Each structure stands twice: as C-alpha cells, then as structure tokens.
Amino acid sequence: MPAEHFSHIRSWVFDLDNTLYPPHMRLFDQIEIRMTNWVMTALGVDRAHADHLRASYWKLYGTTLAGLMAEHRIDPEAYLADVHDIDFSVLSPDPLLAQRIAALPGRRIVYTNADTPYAHRVLAARGLTGLFDAVYGVEHAGYRPKPERAAFEQVFAQDGLDPATAAMFEDDARNLAAPHAMGMRTVHIAPDPEPAPHIHHHAADLSYFLSRLTGR
C-alpha cells in the first residue's frame, strides 16, 4: 500500500465503533444488549423477537434505529440516549494511534451512525479528544444512516468536504460503497478482508496502516 495513493487526500473521515477502537474491546456488545432491551420494552415483545428485529432492521435499513423509526415511529433521541448509557472503562487510551492521527495532513473528522455525545465519550476514553476538526453523528444526517448515500451527502455538505480529496476509514464494508461512488479513497478496517470493487485498501490494524502513511 504505497503512501502515494493518499498524496491527494486533504480530508480524513473516520467511522467510530470498531474503527477508532479495536473490536476485541467489545464495547458494542453492551450497546446490542441495550438495543434488544429497548425494543422489548418499547414494542412489548420477548427477547428472541426483539433480537430478531434488532438484527433484521440493521440489515434492511442500515441501523436498528432507522428500522424502528420507519416501522414504529420511535423517538430517536430517547433511543440513542438509552442504548449508549454504557460502561466505557473497557476502552483504553492509545497514545500511538493519537500521534498517528495527529500527523495526518489536512482536516480530520469523525462520522458515526451513533450520536455525537456518545462519540465524544468514546474519543475521550481512547485519548483522542481534540484531534478532530469535527465530529458528526447520525443526527447531522437527519437520522438517516450510513450506508445511504444521502446521509453521506448531507454530512459532507455541512462540513464542506470534497469527496475527491477525502479518504474514508470504516469497519462495515457496505458503508464504503457510497464513499467510493462519490470519489473517495476507501479503507476497510476489520480483522478479515472483504474483497469488493468499492474497497481500495484493507487493514486489520488502523494504527499500523496510518503509520505507513505518516511514517510515525
């Protein structure tokens, strides 16, 4: 992966969950439990059915929230506050990752399907506070989720980002299809590669990948 592939990049867009922290920290496991509990309470269904809805809405709509809004007209703010009320102590600071993100030239932003209060708590737990020029959550896209192209377009328009000079780092491969179509350089951050035309690069370790770009 030659660094020359990124020589034109002026904006660096990072997903949050399982991207700016590794999956083995299992933070999202807590969120999935709270999502299932929320669906059980809000819809009056048993755990098995709630689990099914959580997973099927994620697959069909991009997020469980998007499915709940489309199918049941739930209040997104109450839902997001509840499911993100978790223990962040499973995360640990990563000074080396912070150094490598700081070394990237240009604008650095976070764009997540979660909300921004949660994103800031994750960044604080990882020692990444103050490194990003902006943090965008699902609320900035009108609660439309990645992978919808309209969600990316709305967030990028607010930021003034030019996709032709931007790179996207994301753990969910399907969320890279729209950025690729918009002209972005795409990097899939995951333990195992998922070869696809819309993925330019794969890395199991974000920090190591960035070290090959920055020389840090």
Distance in angstroms (rounded) separating the CA atoms of residues 13 and 141: 15
Into how many domains does the chain fold?
2
Domain co-membership, 77 together with 16? no
Domain co-membership, 75 together with 46? yes
| Token reading at 177 | 């299809």
For residue 35, what are the domain limits?
Answer: 27-83
- What CATH number does residue 76 fall under? 1.10.150.450
Give the predicted TM-score (pTM) of the model.
Answer: 0.93
Domain co-membership, 171 together with 75? no
Distance in angstroms (rounded) separating the CA atoms of residues 54 and 36: 6
Which one-letter DSSP state was computed for residue 143? T
Domain co-membership, 54 together with 17? no
DSSP H or E segment with residue 168: strand 166-170
Distance in angstroms (rounded) separating the CA atoms of residues 57 and 113: 14
Domain co-membership, 180 together with 117? yes
In a structure prediction context, what are the per-residue pLDDT tens digits for the chain, which is 216 residues long?
A: 568 899 999 999 999 999 999 999 999 899 999 999 999 998 999 999 999 998 999 888 888 988 998 899 989 999 999 999 999 999 999 999 999 999 999 999 999 999 999 999 999 999 999 999 999 999 999 999 999 999 999 999 999 999 999 999 999 999 999 999 999 999 999 999 999 999 999 999 999 999 999 887
Domain co-membership, 43 together with 129? no
